[in-house]
Amino acid sequence: MSDKCKKIYITTPIYYVNDVAHIGHAYTTIIADVLARYSRLVGYDTFFLTGTDEHGQKIEQSASARGKTPKEYADIISGEFKKLWDDFDIIYDKFIRTTDDYHKNGVQKAFLKMYENGDIYKGEYEGYYCVSCETFFPENQLIDGEGCPDCGRPTQILKEESYFFRLSKYQDKLLEWYKNNPECILPKSKRNEIVNFVESGLKDLSISRTSFDWGVKLPAELNEPKHVMYVWLDALMNYITALGYGNAEENMQYWPAKVQLVGKDILRFHAIYWPAFLMSLDLPLPHHIAAHGWWTRDGQKMSKSKGNVVNPKEVADAYGLDAFRYFMLREVPFGQDGDFSQKALIDRINSDLGNDLGNLLNRIIGMSGKYSDFQVSSKDVSTYHQKEIDTVNEVLENVEKLIYDMQLNRYLEELWKLLSIANKSIGDYEPWAKIKEGKVDEANALVALVVNILAKVSVLLYPVMPERISKIAYSLGIEINTSSYESLIKNRALLNDTTISKIDPLFPRIEEPLLATPTVTVEEKPKAKESVKEEASINEDGLIGIEQFMNVTLKVATVVEAEEVPKSSKLLKLQVDCGEENLRQIIAGIKEYYSPADLVGTQVCIVANLKPAKLMGMLSQGMILAAKDENGLALIRPEKPKITGTQIK
């Protein structure tokens, strides 16, 4: 198949309509938009899906708390998501709502097919159910015999007649899929977590409910009017019903998806249930399920009760949508948790965007005006700058695979390498001195080199910052489309003669935070029992609520490297693996009690969501737990070896 006909299908999770959009939703959707725009630029036939997940008990409850029917309520919140994506210039091909008839019909067809294939049977389910997470949990995972292990809220015991999906039957097939497709789950470190989970044994999955009715009914053929489908079965099917599965199948040629973006909290549903359902439906499996980390604000978990939820619209309105898009992708390696602060955003805008990119463009507009009346020709670039061009081409050789590998921050870093070649060449070649020496051709060749680099960077940056880059393209006299991509990037060609136009500075320097207070997501919810609990702070008796404890992420980590910190009697420098893509560096005050050799290969427990700090100038990204008394210090370690990255609860 030629590249042109290659089909690329990109999906976001469909968002629950019990809450308005926040920075986490914007993050996933922006990444998907970047991938889709990149795919279109390359010339692939691209389909980008997003939408809203509208069934389930949680939504039924949220609606009734507001005196609305679930559908009325879903219409409002779904509309708000759609409006936000329109304001954010997100170019999706379809916005699915799980309350749409074609979706419900498609899900019923899928259910029936799985039933006919012998993968669904009727039984009885009894278990601890968390309404908030829409999930049953085994007793041994509950907090204090009652609390949901994911959100801490009380679970309820539910016993009901239920249909089950034979998930256990797919255990080996799933393991085979993970093994034969090392990149099926990205980042790769997340794949190991899933493999370990599946290896520990899969139970059949309860996939229908009789305790509420806001959901898709089972297929009429089963004659079970009391049952509605488990909301995750309904929701996951959106990825194929959106393409016409069970109906006209009009877009099924886009399946399997190239990238399915999800947050780390919903990876299990996507990496275990979803492929098992697809196997049961005899459909191919997606190429990549890519799980991103979570955003905190100024080092703290976001929550409405703290009033610190980042409203993406306010941030984008204040700082510019493109700067916000760039920041989100550049600041955090995909898969890791990230922290939003205005300071970090301002630093990125002033340094990366203002200095490295914006100033470079301004300088080149000025030079081209002075030296050649804004006319730029690439004719002498190879004569004077073949070395730089070779380096640029080397970067181009490797940069593109980073996109579908979901290494988006690395992708941007590579593009910034190109900008630094351009900035450095201006310093090294001093075109103003060449002009004084009468070497006009050399000065113009340097300007042309920089214009060429800016043009190539612009093409590849366009998916990330479409609006600002269109302005740069105008200034350079180029267009950004599949044919400029082919010529400048794929064929490594240099620009034809071009005329530079002046434009206003694109990223004016920002001195002060532009948003005075935390930007709180607009909607005030009526207080449900849970949110009252969430607000509980330290009581007079010094006790804390479970939510406060749950704000601290404790993990099992494995020490990979350890060394003494020179000139310090107390500190050791450790590199620990805590199940993330990259190792973390932790500076620990344990040198008096442990030697590096004692530690390497052993497991420790760490606080994983501490704000990074510097100790003796070295970054420390966490804290190791230890107990110290008059007899010395002992590290707190799991009693039995545990999978690296396992959360401690």
H/E stretch holding 561 reads strand 554-564
Under the binding rule (CB under 6 A), the answer on residue 280 touching ligand MSP is: no
Residue selected from 8, 9, 10, 14 as contacting ligand MSP according to rule CB under 6 A: 14
Q: How far is the CB of 610 from ligand MSP (least distance, A)?
A: 17
CB closer to ligand MSP out of 279 and 332: 332
Residue selected from 73, 170, 295, 411 as contacting ligand MSP according to rule CB under 6 A: 295
Single out the residue of 14, 1, 15, 8 nearest to residue 35, CA to CA: 8
Residue selected from 91, 133, 252, 266 as contacting ligand MSP according to rule CB under 6 A: 266
Residue selected from 219, 263, 431, 622 as contacting ligand MSP according to rule CB under 6 A: 263
Token pair belonging to 340: 């939003």
Token pair belonging to 188: 């790769």
Q: How far is the CB of 30 from ligand MSP (least distance, A)?
A: 11
Q: How far is the CB of 236 from ligand MSP (least distance, A)?
A: 5
Q: How far is the CB of 341 from ligand MSP (least distance, A)?
A: 14
Q: How far is the CB of 238 from ligand MSP (least distance, A)?
A: 6
CB closer to ligand MSP out of 14 and 399: 14
The gap between the terminal CA atoms of the chain, to the nearest Å, is 50
CB closer to ligand MSP out of 308 and 498: 308
Token pair belonging to 360: 């470079």
Mask for 120-139, x = binds ligand MSP (CB under 6 A) = --------------------
Q: How far is the CB of 166 from ligand MSP (least distance, A)?
A: 21
CB closer to ligand MSP out of 74 and 455: 74
φ, ψ of residue 555 in degrees (nearest 5): -135, 155
CB closer to ligand MSP out of 206 and 484: 206
By CB atoms closer than 10 A (0-12, 13-18, 19+), residue 256 is middle
Q: What is the DSSP string of 89-139?
A: T---SEEEETTSHHHHHHHHHHHHHHHHTT-EEEEEEEEEEETTTTEEE-G
> Interacting stretch for ligand MSP, rule CB under 6 A, among 9-17, 142-150, 249-257, 567-575?
9-17
Q: How far is the CB of 235 from ligand MSP (least distance, A)?
A: 4
CB closer to ligand MSP out of 14 and 148: 14
φ, ψ of residue 635 in degrees (nearest 5): -75, 150
What angle (nearest 5°) sits at the alpha carbon of residue 392, between those of residues 389 and 398?
A: 145
> Interacting stretch for ligand MSP, rule CB under 6 A, among 11-19, 118-126, 199-207, 511-519?
11-19
By CB atoms closer than 10 A (0-12, 13-18, 19+), residue 140 is exposed
- What gap in Å lies between CA 614 and CA 620, rounded to an integer? 6
Under the binding rule (CB under 6 A), the answer on residue 480 touching ligand MSP is: no
Under the binding rule (CB under 6 A), the answer on residue 15 touching ligand MSP is: yes
> Interacting stretch for ligand MSP, rule CB under 6 A, among 259-267, 321-329, 486-494, 583-591?
259-267
Q: How far is the CB of 269 from ligand MSP (least distance, A)?
A: 7
- What gap in Å lies between CA 545 and CA 552, rounded to an integer? 12
Q: How far is the CB of 237 from ligand MSP (least distance, A)?
A: 8
Cβ-proximal residues to 300 (8 Å cutoff; 6+ apart), any chain: 306, 308, 551
CB closer to ligand MSP out of 208 and 558: 208
- What gap in Å lies between CA 262 and CA 293, rounded to an integer? 9
CB closer to ligand MSP out of 19 and 442: 19
Single out the residue of 170, 341, 187 nearest to residue 267, CA to CA: 187
φ, ψ of residue 534 in degrees (nearest 5): -60, -35
- What gap in Å lies between CA 608 and CA 644, rounded to an integer? 12
Query: Per CB under 6 A, which of residues 86..115 are in contact with ligand MSP?
Result: none
Mask for 398-437, x = binds ligand MSP (CB under 6 A) = ----------------------------------------
Under the binding rule (CB under 6 A), the answer on residue 265 touching ligand MSP is: yes
Report the residue closest to ligand MSP, judged by CB. 263
Query: Per CB under 6 A, which of residues 17..36 are in contact with ligand MSP?
Result: 24-25, 27-28
Total residues at interface with ligand MSP (CB under 6 A)? 19
Single out the residue of 36, 27, 15, 166 nearest to residue 97, CA to CA: 15
Residue selected from 8, 13, 209, 358 as contacting ligand MSP according to rule CB under 6 A: 13
Under the binding rule (CB under 6 A), the answer on residue 294 touching ligand MSP is: yes
Query: Per CB under 6 A, which of residues 220..249 are in contact with ligand MSP?
Result: 235-236, 238
CB closer to ligand MSP out of 312 and 431: 312
Under the binding rule (CB under 6 A), the answer on residue 16 touching ligand MSP is: yes
CA dihedral 304, 547, 52, 209 (to 10 degrees): -140
Under the binding rule (CB under 6 A), the answer on residue 371 touching ligand MSP is: no
CB closer to ligand MSP out of 94 and 490: 94
Q: How far is the CB of 32 from ligand MSP (least distance, A)?
A: 11
Neighbours of 248 (CB within 10 A): 10
- Confirm if 50 and 90 have CB atoms less than 8 A apart: yes
Token pair belonging to 235: 């929701």
- What gap in Å lies between CA 338 and CA 237, rounded to an integer? 30
Q: Can you say whether residue 231 is alpha, beta or left, with left for phi > 0 and alpha for psi between -120 and 50 degrees? A: alpha
- What gap in Å lies between CA 429 and CA 217, rounded to an integer? 71
Query: Per CB under 6 A, which of residues 514..553 are in contact with ligand MSP?
Result: none
Mask for 178-217, x = binds ligand MSP (CB under 6 A) = ----------------------------------------
Q: How far is the CB of 625 from ligand MSP (least distance, A)?
A: 25
Cβ-proximal residues to 631 (8 Å cutoff; 6+ apart), any chain: none
CB closer to ligand MSP out of 267 and 606: 267
Q: How far is the CB of 56 from ligand MSP (least distance, A)?
A: 8
CB closer to ligand MSP out of 242 and 448: 242
Cβ-proximal residues to 384 (8 Å cutoff; 6+ apart), any chain: 442, 445, 446, 449
> Interacting stretch for ligand MSP, rule CB under 6 A, among 215-223, 258-266, 358-366, 540-548?
258-266
Residue 467, SS3 per DSSP: helix
Dihedral sign for Cα 341, 347, 348, 350, please: positive
Q: How far is the CB of 96 from ligand MSP (least distance, A)?
A: 10
Query: Per CB under 6 A, which of residues 27..86 are in contact with ligand MSP?
Result: 27-28, 53
Token pair belonging to 426: 């201006």
> Interacting stretch for ligand MSP, rule CB under 6 A, among 8-16, 314-322, 560-568, 592-600?
8-16
- Confirm if 59 and 18 have CB atoms less than 8 A apart: yes
- Confirm if 392 and 421 have CB atoms less than 8 A apart: yes
- List interacting residues with ligand MSP (CB under 6 A): 13-16, 24-25, 27-28, 53, 235-236, 238, 262-263, 265-266, 294-295, 302
